[in-house]
Amino acid sequence: NSSNPQEINTNLNPNPSANGWKCGQVNDGNPHESPNEWLAKKLDEMHDLYLGQTDKNPFSVRGYRRGIADRIDEFLTGSKGREYYENTEKAKTVCMFKDIYGVGKSFANELYRRGARTIEDLREKEYGLSKGQKIGVELYSDLISRIPRTECKQLYDLIRSSALDLDPMVWVEIMGSYRRGGVDSGDVDILITRDNSDGKTHKGLIKSLVNDLRKKGVITHEMSTPSDWTALETKWMGVGRVPGGKYRRIDILCIPFDQWGAALIYFTGNEIFNRSLRLYARKKGYSLNQRGLYIGVMRGPDGNKITEGEIVASKTEEDIFKILGIRWRHPHQRRP
Ligand code: DCP
Ligand code: MG
Ligand code: MN
């Protein structure tokens, strides 16, 4: 019975990008129709169909109207936000601001409220931007463009050879979308550790590496630096380039040698693959994070850890997949 609203498939997808619709574009179903008009029409259709049923009393109609109102609310307050669904000057400006490194939805809106309209405005006037956001504004057009795979490889080779010159025992890998086989990437993700079988570690290497790459003009800006440069686990975030090329976001993660496998899984991603693997581990009584696979982790009602548990695997990806009882997936297949 297609007149029952519960059974109508309206093909509504709350995420317009799933329908190929992006910021500043209109719905592709009808070039003269904005996404808002299209959505309103769909909801009207649902409403009319519902009212057309003779067995519905005024109370259930009111309840149904409220249901629709809730759905609209849900769309408008969804992760992309109201501006995503509109093709207005404000929507386009807020979208542009959201693409600045380190700027989220609410700050993008605040900048608009405070009168900013262009990237130039943000360069000229004081808006209380953080250090990272200022770099994001300064290098806006470079940082929003994708990095071709060959250029990722060039940056990786430059970083790797510097690291190996400093210590021939280091392990350096390129991770993220590059390892998953992407034709281009949003940033360059680098994982570093050191074979500790001779009793030495990579402690402090990140500092010398960043200094060396700065001297070579490969690293140009720092957005977030380790709180302790001499720790075994450090994260560095910044910007660099193949000398003469575009400015690119670079993330460098240093980790203890025995966590290599768990870190490989985490930093290869993608994020959805990681979430499903972690959920799967939990269902089997384990707990997986970027440091290792644990057993006996006790969690409170909020899901927070009460006990650390005991580590059962972390050195290789294969060890972790094997204990979980699933076959190892090639990184190219980790993009569900
Ligand atoms: N990661 C994660 N959860 C997050 C952020 C990151 O699990 N909230 C993991 C999975 C990602 C990896 O770290 O694949 C690298 O993060 P990036 O943000 O660099 O994402 P990608 O490299 O996958 O894509 P992009 O090409 O946009 O950089
Ligand atoms: Mg990346
Ligand atoms: Mn990254």
> In sequence order, what are the beta bridge partners of 239?
221, 249
Dihedral in degrees, nearest 10, Cα atoms 171, 174, 176, 177:
-150
- What's the rounded mean pLDDT across residues 52-56? 55
Where is pLDDT greater, at 298 or 238? 238
Predicted confidence (pLDDT) per residue in 306-321, tens digit: 998 999 999 999 999 9
| CA separation for the pair 187, 175 (Å, rounded) | 10
User: Is pLDDT above 50 for 26?
Assistant: no
Could you tell me if the CB of 290 is within 6 A of ligand 1?
A: no
Residue keyed to tokens 């262009």: 118
Window from 48-62, 84-98, 121-135 with minimum mean pLDDT: 48-62
Q: What is the mean pLDDT of the chain?
A: 86
pLDDT score, position 22: 36
Residue 178 Cβ inside 6 Å of ligand 1? The answer reads no
Looking at residue 54, the DSSP 8-state letter turns out to be T
**Residue 274 in contact with ligand 1 by CB distance below 6 A:** yes
What pLDDT is attached to residue 63? 73
**DSSP H or E stretch at residue 138:** helix 131-138
Report whether residue 78 contacts ligand 1, using a CB cutoff of 6 Å. Answer: no
CA of residue 53 to ligand 3 center, whole Å: 53
pLDDT at 129 > cutoff 70: yes
Task: Provide the pLDDT for residue 67.
Answer: 72
Residue 222 is inside which H or E element, if any? strand 219-224
The 8-class DSSP code of residue 202 comes to: -
Ion ligand 3 neighbours (CB, 5 A) are 187, 189, 251
Per-residue model confidence (pLDDT) at position 28: 39
184 lines ligand 1 (CB under 6 A): no
- Report how far ligand 3's centroid is from the alpha carbon of 187 (Å): 5
Say whether pLDDT at 25 is over 70. Answer: no
Q: Which of 153, 272, 274 gets mutated to test ligand 1 (max ligand atoms within 8 A of its CB)?
A: 274
User: For the complex shown, is ipTM > 0.90?
Assistant: yes
Q: What residue has token string 């006790």?
A: 298
Region 85-107 average pLDDT: 90
Q: Which range (18-22, 63-67, 112-116) has the least confidence?
A: 18-22
Distance CA(122)–CA(138), nearest Å, equals: 9
